[in-house]
Structure 1
Amino acid sequence: MREMNMISAIGQLRISPDRDVNLMKALSLIKRAIQVNAKLVVLPELFNTGFYPKNYELVEDNIEDEIDLILKLSERRDITIVGSVAEKENGKLYNSAVVIHRGEILGKYRKTHLFPLTEERKYFSTGNELKVVDTPVGKIGLMICYEVRFPEIARYLVRKGAEILAIPAEFPKERINHWKILLKARAIENQCFVFGANCAEGEDAYPGSSMIVDPWGNVLVEGGDRQEIIMAEIDIGEVEKTRRKFPFLRDFRNDLFSGL
């Protein structure tokens, strides 16, 4: 039986050039979420390596080995953990969002749209499948950073049942206003909860501003510009209530877009 009312959290991580330190920081933030009985915590993009190429060489060949300590921490804890990590398979590197619960990876999504203004495409291969993961806290649709700019991705995930959109990110300060607007837009147009987990500080001075947004577009909590954990109590039942009271999603006309 899944949770309805629950404490949820975002671990706004300060990602450093040291992969092992990053993993320890992630563990620390997860432990803090556990201490307040949070049922869901979302971590930023590439929380193990950041976008530091020298770290890519250290990534384990098996994703379970790469996040072994996090899997072990979650074994006896009733918490769902979401975050993006650098994953290596058959010599290829992927930017992969993972969903973890009680020591298991419930689902994995490999980023399908790589950011064109950095070297992400130089190092990472693209995924080819969008993903909604059924979890004890609800159905979670996965997007990563740049993909928040594509409303088509969010709408597809919602049509596949997503009640929560989890968006790990490393969103830069130059466009942080876009980040805030886009997170609220994805929540409003899809009548779902949105968890935008950005990183903070670090060499690239990431601005934080992680947010949990409700199905009506209200910001329940917003992070500052430092490493921290932010929390809000949510009622997953609000998704169905909002969609039933305001049945906007039903009015979309597929026939007008059949050629796309």
Structure 2
Amino acid sequence: MQENLKIVLIQTELFWENPEQNRNHLTNKIERISEAVDVIVLPEMFTSGFTMEPKKVAETMFGDTVDWLQELALKKQTALMGSMVVSEHGYFYNRLLFVHPNGIIETYDKKHTFTLAGEDKVYAAGQSKLIVTYKGWKICPLICYDLRFPVWSRNVENYDVLVYVANWPKVRVAAWDALLKARAIENMSYCVGVNRVGLDGNGHEYNGHSAVFDVLGKKLDNIPENQETTEIITLSKTHIKTYREKLNFLKDKDTFTLE
């Protein structure tokens, strides 16, 4: 088990529906990370922006972006995670990939498709939660709109880190700020949110507000809004253990089943 986990948040602009340009842009940012890190987190739909035209950008699990992720993970000896548009069995998915340094990939398909934008009409919803075990840490990756649904993220698996990748617009960023903090507090876990900046092809503005909160809801980062930035935050297993033993709120959580 590893005591500390160094996690990198890449808050970036995205080139509209242009996977190759986005890969090149992100390669430059990742290559500039000079210290050894454990996990690099990219935004939601990092190859395209939040498009409702999946046919223009969809790839398979054997396409260029998956190859790129595996090559970078191996080269940098770190895990990479973020979501992209995937075509599989006749459906499109907003799929998060967690790529281990050895190339093994674990996936999570977005459960809560964003009906306000019509995501539910073009993307199939996922049904299964993913808990990644990595270097002795348990990580629960979720996507954007999932943040509004606390039952789905409830810490019944004793995970250590909750990660949201997003294209969350400026107009509703106050909800993003509040809910990231709430998810950390109620689940007694670190909560990491990585959002994009800039304008998308539909004219929606994004101002970032990527953040990391500890188990008490304390903000750990100094990420500026409206700017591309790469931030490294170190998470501590001792911090989680100390406060879960001292406060132990999770033992009083409600039991429930999902249908």
Q: Could you state the TM-score of these two structures normalised by the residue count of structure 2?
A: 0.90
Match of 2:157 among 157, 160, 182: 160
- Look up the match of 1:242: 243
Shift of 1:25: 2.1
| TM-score (norm. length: structure 1) | 0.90
Conservation of the 8 A alpha-carbon contact between 2:46 and 2:82:
yes
1:132-190 per-position Cα deviation (integer Å, ceiling 9, x unaligned) = 111126111021101111111111xx211311111000001111011011000000111
> Which residue of the partner structure matches residue 72 of structure 1?
71
Cα–Cα, structure 1 residues 4 and 31, in superposed 2: closer, same or farther, change >3 Å? farther
Gaps of 5+ in 1: none
Aligned residue runs from structure 1 range 171-186, under 5 A: 171-186=168-183
- Corresponding position of 2:194: 197
| Per-residue deviation, 1:222 | 4.2
| Contact 2:57/2:85, CA 8 A, preserved across alignment | no
Identity %: 28
Compare 2-11 and 90-99 and name the one that shifted more: 2-11
C-alpha distance in 1, partners of 2:82/2:215?
21
Cα distance in 2 for partners of 1:259, 1:54 equals: 31
**Residues 114 and 250 (structure 1 numbering): CA distance in 2 closer, same or farther, change over 3 Å?**
same
CA contact (8 A) 2:11 2:43 kept: yes
Summarize the alignment of residues 97-246 of structure 1 with structure 2, pairs less than 5 Å apart.
Answer: 97-136=96-135, 138-155=137-154, 158-203=155-200, 204-223=204-223, 224-246=225-247
Q: What residue is the counterpart of 1:15 in the other structure?
A: 14
Residue correspondence of structure 1 range 47-86 to structure 2 within 5 A: 47-53=46-52, 56-63=55-62, 65-86=64-85
1:4-43 to 2 correspondences below 5 Å: 4-17=3-16, 18-33=18-33, 35-43=34-42
Aligned equivalents of 2:136, 2:39: Cα separation in 1: 7
For 1:66, give the aligned amino acid: T
**Counterpart-to-counterpart distance in 2, 1:101 and 1:208:** 26
Residue identity in the other structure for 1:209: H
Preserved CA contact (<8 Å) 1:80 1:136: no
State the secondary structure of the residue aligned to 1:206: strand
In structure 2, what is the Cα distance between the partners aligned to 1:175 and 1:82?
24
Q: Which runs of 5+ in 2 are unaligned?
A: none
Q: 1:63 to 1:127 in 2, by over 3 A?
A: farther
Tell me the distance in 2 between the aligned counterparts of 1:24 and 1:94: 23
Aligned-residue RMSD, C-alpha: 2.0
Change (3 A) 1:244 1:64: farther
- Preserved CA contact (<8 Å) 1:196 1:212: yes
Rounded to whole Å, the distance in 2 between the matches of 1:83 and 1:233 is 19
Q: 1:30 to 1:147 in 2, by over 3 A?
A: same
| CA-to-aligned-CA distance 1:217-251 (integer Å, 9 cap, x gap) | 11101432121112222213322221111111101
Aligned length: 254
